[in-house]
Structure 1
Amino acid sequence: MTRLVGIHKEMSLANNQTFALWNAFMPRRKEITNNLNTDLFSMQIYDTTYFENFSPDKKFTKWAAIAVGNFESIPDGMESYTLEGGEYAVFLHKGGPETGAEVFGYIFNTWLPNADYVLDSREHFELLGDKYKHGDPESEEEIWIPIKPKVTDKTKIAVALFDKLADRYQDKFMDVGLYADSLNLFCDNITKPNASILELACGPGNVTKYLLGKRPDFKILGTDLAPKMIELAKANNPSATFRLMDCRDLGKVSKTYDGIVCAFCLPYLSKEETQKLIADAYNVLEQNGLFFISTMENDYEKSGWEKASSGDSIYMHYYPAEFLLTTLKTNGFTIIDERRKKDDGPGNTPVTDLLLIAKKIRKRRKKVLRS
């Protein structure tokens, strides 16, 4: 997050007022006494539809500003703005304004169409530092373009990240003691000896290891879409079986199981994918079979791209308990346990983990067709 103080003006490329804006700001910049440094921000705020059917007559807001430590002292006639941050592609522009069109042409016509990113609806800005000299052919400035990964398949992006960070994930999450009470309840409510358990998105086998510690008789098949995770899970649990499988293909499984474990898989599935998975889980479970779910609880609207601790972007889905409880009940499940835990989410931000255990007791209602 960067706090800015400066002035702004609405304009278009056809009626470019940039020169007038900076002419008004520069003589007054020293009135800002709590600045962090001498860098200048030339920032553009575009409407979300600005780049659709582009026209030089489309208006945008341009700022001339500098970064400050706080907003306690704002000179008369100036305003504050908080730049929240996010992922940016940064390009070095060397030369005067006459070469600017060439640089931006490269960014938008060559680099962006071939990159694994698309434009994000955030602020664009140029950072004018010590090497910036107006009108000098040796002048340098940084061009910051807001980006986000292409949303071709959010799950594919997540799998690639888990493959990349598998060892780090194992080191951080191998201990599942925080969820011991819920996992113990799952084990205790499956009374059948040598019960068959299907684990979705098993990761490095952390939950598998805990379950086998409590119930060595369990016959567990762990599945994951990340090859590196399967590799680690096998090493951590020699007595279990593991294989690559997309949890979204659960409906293709022909065998039935006494229990299904879905630990922190839903954050990487959309609402529609989650509804389908729950319906498929019902069909794959034996009568009286148990379904364990853990996920991060919040409003679904909070879902979006977040920064992992590695700096990589990953799309996280949040779910309110009511949505999951309703979906489970609609599909014929009875809820036998619901509890919550406080934990750290992506970027070490506090989150509420929701843990549910559901039981397949009654037959799912079928629609009756009347003629």
Structure 2
Amino acid sequence: MAGAEPAVLVLEDGSRYVGRAYGALGRTLGEAVFATGMTGYQETLTDPSYAGQIVLMTAPHIGNTGTNDEDMESRQIWVAGYVVREPSRIVSNYRAQRSLDEDLVSQGVVGISGIDTRAVTRHIRSAGAMRSGIFSGADFDLSDSEQLELVLGGAQMAGRNLSEEVSTPEPFTVPAVGEKVGSVAVLDLGVKTSTLNNLAARGLDVHVLPQMVTARDVLELQPSALFFSNGPGDPAASDKHVQLLQDVLRAGVPYFGICFGNQLLGRALGLGTYKLPFGHRGINQPVLDKRTGRVEITSQNHGFAVEAPIEGTFDSPAGFGRVEVSHFSLNDNVVEGLNCLDLNAFSVQYHPEAAAGPHDANYLFDRFLEMIQGSKNAHPAAADDASTTDEEGTN
């Protein structure tokens, strides 16, 4: 079995962790990050936001419940590599259709098991997320210096635009469930299936659009609202998506963004973004909703954040009126949400669809629906109102 063969995880600072191959054999490169969820490994693996990253699970035992088609959050596994302490030797769940190892092998995901994931996590928390590689099979026999050279030749996450890799190639529609109350245009930057289902469950026709569409394309649909999804990469490398959002906001279309969509709203408002040392990843991240005073336990996956003052209101540097931070992290005071006071737009930095994760933040989809229903601009003017700056499309 592949699992009996040796493998090594190499970090860009030269740290090495030798274990056993897990999943496919070979070589993979990516940014090493850790996820703190005790469950939800299939949702993590199929979350497009993890594209380009080697994901280390802090929970020590992974694979117990196997995998199935129902819990897939997208069309494939997106992680660049997978690191676990101890894979389950058996699958013990009535819903399981395959073992996790079978999915990793069939989709060519190179992984490693049998290393001290606590030690690696502590190292990343201290040194920060960094480039890394997993080597097994013939690549395990490369010299230490050859493996490190390959890792150092890998791409940095900062400045990287990955939306083209994960976005849908063609538009499609998820019809409203029950009575239709409106429609939403979803820019797919790495959207999850559960997000689309939550929007459709609120009576919205969900028009999922490839990431290269223009503001004119969006406005031609005459949507009740625009939604930017989660996704991988650096928001500073998505200027065309920022321009699209600015044009649609000026046309009066209500907006809701999550995760990457929160960062892009920040940039559209004229705010900066920055890379976190090791990011927030997992289903146990505490966030304060300033509007209600409630503490929410949230599902998160982001390595970048918005720069904005936590307290008070401020004027959008890009001319979109007054803005406030609506949510912030109780671990490190990172901005977790933005609310525009002079237009119908808000965003959060986490996953309200709760796949996998707690349901504390699911109310945000209801808040989005209330905003749509209360908006006087639910049916925007013709696409002629779009700025001509959108003609070039997006990256």
TM bucket (normalised to shorter chain) is 0.3 to 0.5
Using the size of structure 2 for normalisation, the TM-score is 0.32
Using the size of structure 1 for normalisation, the TM-score is 0.33
* Structure with bigger gyration radius: 1
Which structure carries more relative contact order (alpha carbon 8 Å, separation 6+)? 2
